[in-house]
Amino acid sequence: MRLVGVFILMFCFAMSILSQTPMVNRLMNEGKQQQERNDFKAAVETYEKVLSLEPKKEEARFELAYSWYKLGNNENALKYGRTVMHEEGEFWLEALILCGSAYDNMGESRRAISLYNRGIRKRPNHPLLHYNMALSQFNLGKLGEAEQHARLSLSLDMGHPSGHLLLSNIMLQKNERVKSMMSLYYYLLMEQDADRSIKAWDMLNAIWDYVLKQSGRSASSDYYQAFEADLVKQAKSESRKFDGIDQFVSRTGYFLEYMPQLVDNNDFWQQHYVVFFKQMAVYGFSEPFAYYVSGCKYKPQALSWMSANNQLFEQFIGWMNQQ
């Protein structure tokens, strides 16, 4: 009889779990929809309901951590994120990156770096781990380490806009302006309609203003310093004839036209930026490129040019889609 009683209890427990499953699934879907609407406060309540029904559900704990993170509550993000990270299950990597980001937000970048090192040991070729490591190193002012990881991140995934934006800031801090400009141009090509794009465009134009105030004299054999000196000599007088978007288009044309030929196939910048921009110039796409990336700042003028030069612009877009 005791055995029968045990079986009955097990059956009742199993039926209880099965009856909760549809409710859990419905709540998980509801939470994700709330996140998509940026209603993270409601998402927190939803995922807490999930955990009251299924306390060990890893995905729910991660999504709860993420929702707290988006609400700016780094402490709660860490509270739930660390439990997921330490279990090293399906969501451990996402949780590790989330916890590292929370530490960064709290000014504890060294603890973030410790986490990213742990992640890189297990997943050495994951671009987001290197991106976040670069960001943490940048926050600590370690520009060499930051550049190393930012370049590695982009070598693994050139399609990450934030990676280009971060690298441009690192290089600007290192006073390597041409490299910073390359990254900014590439970022704007990928993300010219985001809120931060206007700041990036202004930053790029400010670098241009600074560069063109220089003497243009350089005996340096360094590829990038020599390129900067050439830009000053070629673009200084011409760019004074224009302002606004017309000035930017003129400057961009010089940037692409006078970019030197490759001298080192193993150089990150030449391999990932110079080859791309040189091809763009060869195909005659400097002008549509400049107008396209200026859409964030001068949208009516950019759209007007695209409409008036539709065939050239369509050719540019077609070329871009093949890259």
Query: Per-residue pLDDT tens for 127-145?
Result: 999 999 999 999 999 999 9
Average pLDDT, the chain: 89
Q: How far is 323 from 320, CA to CA, in rounded Å?
A: 5
Percent pLDDT > 70 in the chain is 89
82 band by pLDDT with thresholds 50, 70 and 90: very high
Over 50: is that where the pLDDT of 24 sits?
yes
pLDDT value at position 237? 66
Query: Per-residue pLDDT tens for 240-262?
Result: 666 789 999 999 998 998 887 76
pLDDT value at position 260? 74
233 band by pLDDT with thresholds 50, 70 and 90: confident
Domains of the chain: 18-157 (1.25.40.10), 194-322 (no CATH)
Over 80: is that where the pLDDT of 177 sits?
yes
Please say whether the dihedral angle defined by the alpha carbons of residues 283, 188, 132 and 207, taken in this order, is positive or negative.
positive
